[in-house]
Amino acid sequence: MFGDFSKALGQLSDKRFQAVLLKGLGLTVALLVAIYLAFVWVIGVFVPDTFSLPFIGEVHWIDNALSIGSFFFMILLSMFLMVPVASAFTGIFLEEVSEAVEDRHFPGLPPVPRQTISDLVIDSLGFLGVIVAANLVALVLYLLLNIAAPVIFWALNGFLLGREYFQMVAMRRLGREGAKAARKRHMPEIWLAGALMAVPLSIPVVNLLIPVLGAATFTHMFMRLEGKQIR
């Protein structure tokens, strides 16, 4: 497992890895900016410029205060959304990462059929929805069990990240049903690898590298666990 990560880390200078990283980050930032602009637009449409309050009179600064507050709110929200959104976008480009790994470490493998963009987008958005929904539900546990919050975060996201990344990597070679069967065979190791992947998600800047490194690591893991079936 650690060998899988070490090999992935050693390929971080690969131009294809860097291209996926830049595209994933670019789309993530664009989405967050779009959400912020939409929020500001809603404020402008539905919040009046002035309020008239008893004993105070007209108040002219409510909409400006909400607009300024929304900026800081989006910064706070991005801390929670950046990783799942970046991971989902990276899933769209996972094919490029897996191909780069296979070209360097597993030459001579039979070609795989290209997944359509629509399938990749649907799978990635599904992953995004699951991880955001699960973390919103877990937010209650984070608040109630604040001491155990890091462990809950790592265990939950480790399970989700490991499950989804292994599934996406395995589908390239085994198809959807074959990938599910392989995932069930190796779930304990996949969960542990996902948890180790989730730990650095709380480290700023470093967490931005995790989607690409995760895709590469799980490609190595899949080849180690199931590679004999396709060679």
Question: Tens digits of per-residue pLDDT, 143-161?
Answer: 777 777 778 888 888 888 8
pTM for the full model? 0.75
Q: What is the pLDDT of residues 183-210, one digit of tens each?
A: 989 999 999 998 888 887 767 667 777 7
Determine whether 229 is exposed, middle or buried from the number of CB atoms within 10 Å of its CB (0-12, 13-18, 19+).
exposed
pLDDT of 190 reads: 92
Residue 223 has pLDDT above 70, yes or no: yes
Cα 186-134-203 angle, rounded to 5 deg: 80
Higher pLDDT, 33 or 71: 33
CB under 8 Å to 3, separation ≥6 — which residues? Answer: 220
